[in-house]
Amino acid sequence: MSAEKTEQQSVPWIKRPDVAVELADGRRLEAAGRPLLMGIINVTPDSFSDGGRYYDHDAAVERGLQLARDGADILDIGGESTRPGSTVVPPDEEKQRVLPVVEDLAAETDVPISIDTRKATVAEDALDAGAHIVNDVSALRFDIEMAPLVADRGVPVCLMHMQGTPQTMQDNPTYDEVVSDVCDWLAGRMEVAADAGIGEDRIIIDPGFGFGKTVGHNLELMRRLHEFHDLGRPLLVGTSRKSMIGAVLGAGTDERLSGTLATVCCAAMSGAHILRVHDVAPARQAVEMCEAVRLGERYTGRKP
């Protein structure tokens, strides 16, 4: 039996495609050794999982610094909840929430900062304050000025799939075949981004777990997550504390860490590049264990 065949049989998950994201400052986000961890900072009073906990400026900054100490590779700062049924936050109010946090974290840590917003004016001011990435849950659909802004600034953008809007997405999510439908939709949004002048090496894709999907849809997306590698871009997965976990385990939002870590491991074994999580420290341990098992006898211990 050839060594190559033995290797394929002994590794029951997908090799992570070697694709990276270029930041405007010349740095590269690479996930060769393990998936990158994106730590969540919700500067909102109504987030589904930690609403109000980090709404205070000082609490939000300290949370970001703690996530960085825990090993976050990216800090994702958002000032507008996009949970089912949420309402749109006016841009000025969203700026008041996030800009001071972005500015202070950019001054105190070298960890790249992502601004989680659908609004170009919020994204622009956040980039001026020190953010490096735009995480747009509308995939450039909500604000027609977002694509030109991203192209002009040369920053990475995350394009996430969502059926409908946060107000309507869970009314009756329906697909012909959820994985191929979401893949095709993301491919279409990548074309829109390219037409706007956004470089392919600046695009990240996200299947949008929980955004216009039933529990069954979410589980099927996770089961066949590797199929999204056909799009050729880094794959971001965000399942942290989401209702799909609560539905399977019968667990409240504060009791979903174990389920979250299970999905983190599934995503890591399917070759995901970025994992968006609330709890960075345990997620980092989980993905390090996954990577160690993947290496098997080649594992030589932690790097100094």
Active site residues: 242, 276
DSSP label at residue 89? P
Q: How far apart are CA 182 and CA 1, in angstroms?
A: 39
The CA angle 203-212-154, to the nearest 5 degrees, is 15
Q: How far apart are CA 73 and CA 249, in angstroms?
A: 29
Give Cα 136 to chain centroid, integer Å. 10
Place of tokens 């539905």: 247
Nearest CA among 162, 210, 167, 158 for reference residue 182: 162
* CA contacts within 13 A on the Cβ side of 178: 24
Extract the tokens encoding 55: 């709404």
Strand partners, 239: none
